[in-house]
Amino acid sequence: MRKIIMLATIGAAVSFAGCNNAPGPSQSNSNATSQAANDHPQTMIAHSGENQAPPTGAKTKWSQGGNPIDTTELDAAIVNAEKELKAKPSDDVAKKALSQAYNKRAVALTDARQYASALGDYRKAVKLDPSNAEAKQWIDQITQIYDSMNKEAPKEGEEPPALPFKK
C-alpha cells in the first residue's frame, strides 16, 4: 500500500515539475471575452518559480512539507525504547526495538508526506539495526523523490523534526 502511495506521490511530484508554460485546466465556456482571457491559463505553481531549475543546474535545497500529524504515541514509544537501550546498551533486542520504534514513526511521517522528517527516522532505524531492509528501501525512495524534483535531500543530522500538530 505504501509503495502505491509513494509511486502516486512521485508521479505527482514529477507532473508538478513540468513545463513552466503548461496550460491549466481546460474550460468549456463559449463566452468570447471569457475565452480570450483564458487563452493561456497557467497554474499558480507555474508562476511561483518553485519548480524552476537553478541557473547553474545545481540542486536546490530541500524544504519541509506534508501534513502535520499527532506523533505523541510514537514519540513516547521512542523515549521508552531509548530508556531500555540506555539500561542495556549492548542488548541487540533493545537496539532492534528502538529501530522499530523509529521505523514506525518514519512510516507515519511518510504517509503524511513529511519526507524530510521521515528520512531522519529511517536513518536512525538503520544505524540501530543495519538489517532493517524496509528503512533502507525508504531512504532510497525518498532520496529518489528529491532527485526527481532536482532538490538536494537533507544531509544526515539536518533532518527537521515533524511538523507541529495542533489539536
Global pTM reads 0.66
Q: Which domains does the chain have, with CATH numbers?
A: 2-52 (no CATH), 72-152 (1.25.40.10)
CB-based contact 109:117 (threshold 8 Å): yes
> 60-61 and 151-152: which strand pairing?
parallel
Q: Model confidence over 84-132: pLDDT tens digits?
A: 999 999 999 999 999 999 999 999 999 999 999 999 999 999 999 999 9
- The answer, yes or no, to whether residue 32 has pLDDT greater than 70, is no
- Residue 46: φ, ψ to 5°: -65, -25
* Residue range 34-40: mean pLDDT, rounded: 41
The pLDDT confidence band at residue 4, using thresholds 50, 70 and 90, is: very low
Average pLDDT of the chain to the nearest whole number: 76
CB-based contact 135:40 (threshold 8 Å): no
**pLDDT at residue 56 in the model:** 57
pLDDT higher at 16 or 73: 73
**pLDDT at residue 57 in the model:** 62
- The answer, yes or no, to whether residue 155 has pLDDT greater than 70, is yes
**pLDDT at residue 63 in the model:** 74
Residue type, 154: P
Which alpha helices (DSSP H) does the chain contain, by range?
2-16, 32-37, 44-48, 72-87, 92-111, 115-128, 133-148
